[in-house]
Structure 1
């Protein structure tokens, strides 16, 4: 049975264009369109689509508000379309906080080298997030405030608020209870010593990283490298948002800056992040993304660099995301004696990158998202 898709956009041209692409895949079918957020909420309730594509800026009701209302009444996988601007980045992150699962730039030429590649990517994204439909249900408790609603009151980095509950897809895209082998009732530290934490992710990563990082204490003893597949105009806004929500410091990485404990460095979009120097005296190295690289930033590149500098002293994780980026870098980390964990299937938005690591026998533990921060604290003897 084809995946049923509701297309939401106030532009008739864009609705037609997206519908043609989606209907070009025999696995997908556009069942209707909506011209604003209010109509989207109504049609989501009436038609029960498997996936919704959603514009952000629309009359009557904007896309962020529509996402929030749909997630409270008829939780559905939602793919946002966004402009590649700083304001567009902030709005897209608000939509992800509200419960959207993924996003794509509205200008297709910004996401691919040619039209055929863009068409395939859109069809693939819709198919992938449709798989989460079975795990989504209406929340049984009152909703928590979204980041969009609290942005205006967000504290500065010098006055960080306590860790906040996230109003994200995790509040509505509820997965089944994790299997016992993946989530032991009590974790035990391995006894290893670490000098660096490295986390790679893609689709679903912004929400996942927010959940993991917001639970870490201000005195976290190690530097953290974050590699999130994300456009160049998004990473600065994303780092700023995380910095306001977390007790640790979070920043977009800059070339040449030294790695400091208690700071997370987000790889800039469109570039590659590496480590230069020697363990204990390392600096960030930002280089051109390269035309031949599929991912900019690339998890494999950063993980490989970390392995060469830190050897067996890296605690690494591969979280939700499409594809297999991170597998080769994780393999190199493991060969050097470092630790590799993967997010489990049930809690992933897309079980691609973690699956690649798990199937290759590289990860030593497969963890549900809501217990990864706990596992980190235990491993580093912080609890």
Structure 2
């Protein structure tokens, strides 16, 4: 049974979250809290597995509550965010400071879809309770008990080198992705001889602030993609939420495609479109990277990318928030390399430069 602490200053929202969560027999709301101070008290008193945390609250806001929680009683946290620009920026900061995922409040306009997504995220993220406690004990200089670290790759998985040079890097990512994308991009040199395209499952209001945040902390330049953008070395394009990003050839030169098709795709952006179009347009010039995320989006596209001579790196289970999308390509035998998050940038640099 997953025990949840629901934190929100709105009585209506608290009641809605409780009702939606408890539709799953494996989830129990252990308590609710109206603000950050009450949340910290109840988190200390109760044995809960995960916290859903409102971003904007009186007395102690979501970000301050998160910081104190990770200092005193680290737990998996999902931020429940408004879709304002300030809400997006605060949510991205929260993920840098320990929150594992977020869900936009405006999804509650479609109650059934919101409930399905909320329960799915809670069940996926709650599994990280032990890892979160170990990580923040280390950060807070509390010596944890020794627990064997899971291997980065399956024992029977044969890795094959990603040989270069390759001048296009395509990244697919979902749950738990923003901090990992930032870690990878921030480690790349400004003069890396490749263009980077990113399909991150994220609402439209978040992708602009996400791109700006990356641009401010990375040596490479980062922007939200627009249809027809030209490929530039040392530049990363983030797909706008609600649309798809891909590659097409304009004569001998590749360019960025931003489109609403396929409209019926489960995810917008879908990683499948990015991986498949990159493979078809640029083949062996492409390096694919599959990062943390639920489900298997990107696996079909990765198959095309590999068939056309592309190379693929998958993030390891040990370093993923949710080992779904990388697992799908590993299980399908499509990953050339399986690497921990901190080793991916080094592998990108080596492969791109050949």
TM exceeding 0.5: yes
Q: Distance in 2 between matches of 1:207 and 1:88?
A: 17
Q: CA deviation at 1:139?
A: 3.2
Q: CA deviation at 1:192?
A: 2.6
More helix by share: 2
**Partner of residue 377, structure 1:** 349
Answer yes or no: is the 8 Å Cα contact 2:215–2:222 preserved in 1.
yes
Q: CA deviation at 1:176?
A: 5.8
Q: CA deviation at 1:365?
A: 1.5
Q: What is the Cα-based RMSD across aligned positions, in Å?
A: 2.3
Unaligned regions of 5+ residues in structure 2, if any? none
Q: CA deviation at 1:377?
A: 2.2
**Partner of residue 335, structure 2:** 363
Q: Distance in 2 between matches of 1:366 and 1:210?
A: 19
**Partner of residue 271, structure 1:** 243
Q: CA deviation at 1:279?
A: 8.6
Answer yes or no: is the 8 Å Cα contact 2:289–2:313 preserved in 1.
yes
**Partner of residue 38, structure 2:** 39
Alpha carbons of structure 1 residues 182 and 302: separation in structure 2 relative to 1, 3 Å: same
**Partner of residue 53, structure 2:** 54
Answer yes or no: is the 8 Å Cα contact 1:176–1:346 preserved in 2.
no
Matches within 5 A, 1:81-230: 81-109=80-108, 114-137=110-133, 138-141=136-139, 177=149, 179=151, 190-230=162-202
Answer yes or no: is the 8 Å Cα contact 1:270–1:289 preserved in 2.
no
Q: Distance in 1 between matches of 2:161 and 2:332?
A: 24
Q: Distance in 2 between matches of 1:279 and 1:267?
A: 23
Alpha carbons of structure 1 residues 181 and 131: separation in structure 2 relative to 1, 3 Å: closer
Matches within 5 A, 1:278-357: 281-357=253-329
Q: Deviations over 1:318-354 (max 9, x none)?
A: 1000111110111100011110111111111111111
Q: CA deviation at 1:48?
A: 3.2
Q: Which has the higher contact order (CA 8 A, sep 6+)?
A: 2
TM-score, normalised to structure 1's length? 0.85
SS in 2 for 1:260: coil
Q: CA deviation at 1:83?
A: 1.0
Q: CA deviation at 1:104?
A: 0.6
Q: Deviations over 1:173-227 (max 9, x none)?
A: x9964526579xxx99643321201110000110110010000011111000111
Q: Distance in 2 between matches of 1:126 and 1:314?
A: 35
Q: Distance in 1 between matches of 2:153 and 2:165?
A: 24
Answer yes or no: is the 8 Å Cα contact 1:182–1:367 preserved in 2.
no
**Partner of residue 165, structure 1:** none
Unaligned regions of 5+ residues in structure 1, if any? 144-171
Q: CA deviation at 1:245?
A: 0.4
Q: Deviations over 1:87-119 (max 9, x none)?
A: 211111111112111111112346xxx433322
Answer yes or no: is the 8 Å Cα contact 1:6–1:32 preserved in 2.
yes
Matches within 5 A, 1:232-243: 232-243=204-215
Q: Distance in 1 between matches of 2:349 and 2:175?
A: 25
Out of 314-323 and 100-109, give the one that drifted further.
100-109
SS in 2 for 1:322: coil
Answer yes or no: is the 8 Å Cα contact 2:153–2:316 preserved in 1.
no
**Partner of residue 155, structure 1:** none
**Partner of residue 156, structure 1:** none
Q: Distance in 2 between matches of 1:364 and 1:285?
A: 26
Q: Distance in 2 between matches of 1:120 and 1:103?
A: 14
Alpha carbons of structure 1 residues 197 and 280: separation in structure 2 relative to 1, 3 Å: farther
Q: CA deviation at 1:283?
A: 1.4
Q: Distance in 1 between matches of 2:164 and 2:153?
A: 21
TM-score, normalised to structure 2's length? 0.92
Question: How many residue pairs end up in the alignment?
Answer: 346
